[in-house]
Structure 1
Amino acid sequence: MTLLKLTEVDTFYGGIQALKGITIDVEEGEIVTLIGSNGAGKSTTLKSISGQAPVKAGSIVYKGTHITKFPPHQTARLGIAHVPEGRKIFPKMTVKENLTIGAFSLSNKKVIEENMTRVLTYFPRLKERLTQKGGTMSGGEQQMLAIGRALMMNPTMLMLDEPSMGLAPIIVEQIFEIIMELNKNGMTILLVEQNAYQALQIAHRGYVIQTGEIILQGKGSELIHNEKIKEAYLA
């Protein structure tokens, strides 16, 4: 079943066109990755979906609902969780406070407590640091906190923007293991990642974006062996 579909989406920043007729779809239960160079339009695609970048043309449909013009709080309430590039945690707030904010759209205290338990099961390191200020943690811990905060809202789709950026290889491996575990447990994931090799290894399908346009798509296992992809992104 198609969970998310973008059709001929154009997005502008002022007079600059960042996306030029982007068409992608994400099936329920998939990991789909967007790869491309800096400035290609990967982050803008996620921002267009979550309502942070205004779409000028085309359509975005999520679970049968047209969300093209929805603001971020409405897309979040529909079950789309967006973990932005750079984590964007609240550095002066504790780990527990950061996680609790993630459940802003929920009112049932029991559900919030259950979500907290589940998040801390995925990220036992956060459990050890519940009273620690977010800004005092390592980059890897902050990334775990950013993902955990997104999971607190019970999303049906998790969008991750450069989760491995700036992290040590061993932490990157841990983050990707968690992404695979989340997917195994039923989470649909749309992943933006400059580490194309790592992303394509775990993705069911992938799209390659270049200057705001999709230039190639296919199964992750196929793209990882594509000579053009190897030359441009896996060298």
Structure 2
Amino acid sequence: MSLLQLNKVEAFYGGIQALRGIDITVHQGEIVTLIGSNGAGKSTTLKSICGQVQTKGEILFEGKNITSWQPHQIAMAGIAHVPEGRRIFPRLTVKENLEMGAFSVKDKKQVKQRIEQAFVYFPRLKERYHQAGGTMSGGEQQMLAIARALMMNPDILLLDEPSMGLAPVLVDQIFDIIQELNAAGMTILLVEQNAYHALKIAHRGYVIQTGEIVMQDYADVLLSSNEVQEAYLA
């Protein structure tokens, strides 16, 4: 059974249709990437999964139909979303941002343990523990956004453009961390405009154009595809 499955999913912003019947499957332990140009529907796909836009079709998570669930119910079920642009709380400290990620966890000892685990992946955040999130660099804020999502101890992590606006050395660092998380057992659905980096670390990939899936295959097959190279890697 797949962990996450989208069947003929359509999405709408008012009267504007953004997704046109897409099918995506993510299995436990995979990194699956969704690549495409700006406005193709990548972010809308993640928002559809999280209940943030009007949808039709079927979204299954761990075999349960979550299509009509509210965003907080979806989050509590084990789906963590790191949105485009990081969306940290800029006036809160690193500590407070992480605690916000664990808002539903009542056991303070467990919250502390999860913060310590986050520092294993993001030691820089330990150095910035009492610093306001908005005063940190873009790379540090991206680390904080991912760490905050991990505080939920999710079953799947949805990452939206984690490399956006980062220097090349920080892009490499973020993708290394994504691989480390996956190696530790985290299932990841990665939306990324940097197709090369995404396909290098993913197991499988989907290509989306104007709200439709136009290609899908193993990541290495897509990486070597002339069509993908010309459209996204040139």
Normalising by the residue count of structure 1, what TM-score does the alignment of the two structures yield?
0.99
Residues 210-221 of structure 1: matches in 2 within 5 Å?
Answer: 210-221=209-220
Please provide the CA RMSD for this pair.
0.6
Residues 135-154 of structure 1: matches in 2 within 5 Å?
Answer: 135-154=134-153
Residues 28-107 of structure 1: matches in 2 within 5 Å?
Answer: 28-55=28-55, 57-107=56-106
Give the conservation status (yes or no) of the 8 Å contact 1:197–1:224.
Answer: yes
- Unpaired segments ≥5 residues, structure 1: none
* Counterparts of 1:71 and 1:137, CA distance in 2: 32
Alpha-carbon displacement from aligned partner over 1:68-105 (angstroms, at most 9, x marks no partner): 01111111101100000000000001010001000012
Note if 1:170 corresponds to 2:177: no
| Aligned residue type for 2:229 | K
* Counterparts of 2:99 and 2:120, CA distance in 1: 16
Note if 1:110 corresponds to 2:109: yes
* Counterparts of 1:78 and 1:105, CA distance in 2: 12
Give the conservation status (yes or no) of the 8 Å contact 1:204–1:219.
Answer: yes
Residue 231 of structure 1 aligns to a residue whose secondary structure is helix
| Aligned residue type for 1:107 | K
- Unpaired segments ≥5 residues, structure 2: none
Could you list the runs of 4 or more consecutive aligned residues of structure 1 that deviate by over 4 angstroms after TM superposition?
Answer: none
Note if 1:3 corresponds to 2:14: no
Residue 3 of structure 2 aligns to a residue whose secondary structure is strand
* Counterparts of 2:152 and 2:229, CA distance in 1: 37
* Counterparts of 1:118 and 1:219, CA distance in 2: 31
- 2:186 counterpart residue number: 187
Sequence identity (%): 67
